[in-house]
Amino acid sequence: MSKKKKQETVEAVYHKKLVKRRKPNRSIAGDIGLYVFLFLVAVVMFFPIVYAVSNALKPLDELFKFPPKILAQNPTLDNFSDLFVTLGKSWVTFSRYLFNTVFITFMGTFGHLIVASMGAFVLAKYDFPGNQTFFKLVTVAMMFTGYVTQIPNYLILNKLGWIDTYWSIVIPAFASPMGLFLMKQFMEGLPTSLIEAAQIDGASVWKVFSGIVMPNVKPAWMTLIIFSVQGLWNNKAATYIYSEEKKTLVYAMQQIQSGGIARTGQGAAVLVVLMVVPIAIFIFSESQILETMASSGLKD
């Protein structure tokens, strides 16, 4: 046997062993069971969305049927048309409510992303007196819900003169400890040698942060965007905003939803309208996160 053929035989044997080693130690029945389990989990998680959309498409007589049907028998868009007619009769237009919500959500999310990312970069990659103590305070702050901090927040915002303004919702969103914690944990996994190499090449701190750190922690800030948008989009802001022309879309929708039995159909349509944006952003962001996680792994 020639040297070339011997080498090819060795490579073939090695490849065969490698493939055999990588083959999952699982039977066909195990594979089927796994896929059935995953399918059932997907059905359970997707069912509430299907049921909500189906209810929004049901006429009133089907909404009051017992036992209720999962799918609409005679689907109609009357609930949505009635909802927009009701909103059109309000002295504050639907577009105004929508603008308020979009403005608060965009500004709050953008500010939260910038503040949390810059703070996390300093905590993760720089040593200074009180570094660990400050991060422990951030961790402790995550234990308290918004209900616990609502009174001190109100007193501070009132002292600043921000009550009944957009900033009463936007500014506190900047300081959410969850975003800072998430970004800091991701940035700690970023190789310090990458940052040091950029600094040796003459990159400024802002260049390192914006051009190197942020692109490589994209999964973290995309996840932060999902949580921030969901929280701000569903914020009624009724505690801090009193003027009707500054109230959010969620507040207006919930007022319609609480209109009694006559507005049951509109209430079902409200649920669909309110969940469209968070779900759409989640679906878009999820694909970005998976793509980035698969292609941006770095090791020191």
Average pLDDT over residues 30-50: 86
CATH number of this structure's domain 84-295:
1.10.3720.10
Over residues 120-176, the pLDDT tens digits come to: 888 888 888 888 888 888 888 888 877 788 888 889 988 998 888 899 889 988 888
What local confidence, expressed as pLDDT, does residue 103 receive? 92
Model confidence at 110: pLDDT above 90:
yes
Per this entry, what is the length of the chain? 300
Least confident of 35-49, 74-88, 174-188: 74-88
| Alpha-carbon torsion, ordered 151, 155, 161, 162, to 10 deg | -20
DSSP state of 68: P
What local confidence, expressed as pLDDT, does residue 43 receive? 86
Tokens in use for 156?
């501070």
What local confidence, expressed as pLDDT, does residue 5 receive? 52
Q: Coil, strand, or helix at residue 134? A: helix
Over residues 242-258, the pLDDT tens digits come to: 888 888 888 877 777 67
What local confidence, expressed as pLDDT, does residue 107 receive? 92
Which residues belong to CATH 1.10.3720.10 in the chain? 84-295
pTM: 0.74
